[in-house]
Amino acid sequence: MDISKLDRAAVLAALYNHARPQGMGFFHFDPKPMTVEQAKEILATGQTYFDYVKGRVMKVDLSKGFPVLLSFDLDAETMWTARDPKNAERPIVMSQGAYGWKVGVPRILDLLDRYGLKVTFFVPGLVMEQRPAMVEAILKQGHEIAHQSWSHAWIVNLTLPQEREEMDKGIEVIQRMTGRKPVGYRSPEAEFSPHTLRMLHEYGFGYSSNYFDDDSPYLHRIDGRLTDIVEFPFAWGLDDAPFFQY
């Protein structure tokens, strides 16, 4: 994201005031918000990269911009077939899913290429197998493909063996078609079972993008223990699905 036209002091103050405190003894968390004037004083020292500021996690380089996670869910026809397999016999319903891979993806790839952006596509394994040319186009531009199940089946309706099968098949197809195991995971319809988070830890996922309980990244806990699974929260208001479907 280009911030060259934004007031960098205002950006630093805003990021600081929304950052999470780091609970480590050698960092002293300052509960007071940062003013723009205070941010200007910090930037006047010439520093532009920040790991931590007054005990708050930042991880931001203001010399070029600041990081955002820009992602796309490419459910295609599985959005409807996962709800009811009989939808496969309804061509008009299915055409809503086909729009994504036929029209949406090429336009998005062109736009991303124009601005030099690298993003993440969360794609069900079944869609990847059905649309190999689309997968090739995504990978050719250097984008990440992350896990979004095998068939987009609703996790809350699955048994543990069924959920594991969705996980295994999704991992297999991503590894086979991209050459590496997936690092990120987004569940169908942002639903977790009581087993999902433990499964992500077991399979060695690096991040999840499913929860709504924050607007900053954080590390997940399992049974009270901190893991290395980073959560990148999202919000339905930033997703086109509610506007598209309802």
Distance CA(244)–CA(246), nearest Å, equals: 6
3-class secondary structure, 40: helix
3-class secondary structure, 231: strand
3-class secondary structure, 12: helix
CB atoms within 10 A of CB 131: 21
- The whole-number pLDDT of residue 167 equals 97
Average pLDDT across the chain, whole number: 84
Alpha-carbon separation of residue 54 from 24, 152, 204, 218 (angstroms):
11, 43, 32, 18
Residue 28 in this model has a pLDDT that exceeds 60: no
Q: What is the pLDDT of residues 42-92, one digit of tens each?
A: 888 877 767 667 767 666 666 665 556 789 998 988 888 888 889 889 999
pTM of the entire predicted model = 0.72
DSSP structural state of residue 104:
I
3-class secondary structure, 70: coil
- The whole-number pLDDT of residue 24 equals 47
Longest dimension (CA), the chain: 65
Alpha-carbon separation of residue 39 from 12, 34, 35, 144 (angstroms):
6, 7, 6, 34
Across the range 28-35, mean pLDDT stands at: 75
- Tokens representing 17? 């005031």
Across the range 129-146, mean pLDDT stands at: 94
Distance CA(96)–CA(245), nearest Å, equals: 10
Q: What angle (nearest 5°) sits at the alpha carbon of residue 40, between those of residues 34 and 45? A: 115
- The whole-number pLDDT of residue 149 equals 95
Q: What angle (nearest 5°) sits at the alpha carbon of residue 187, between those of residues 199 and 59? A: 85
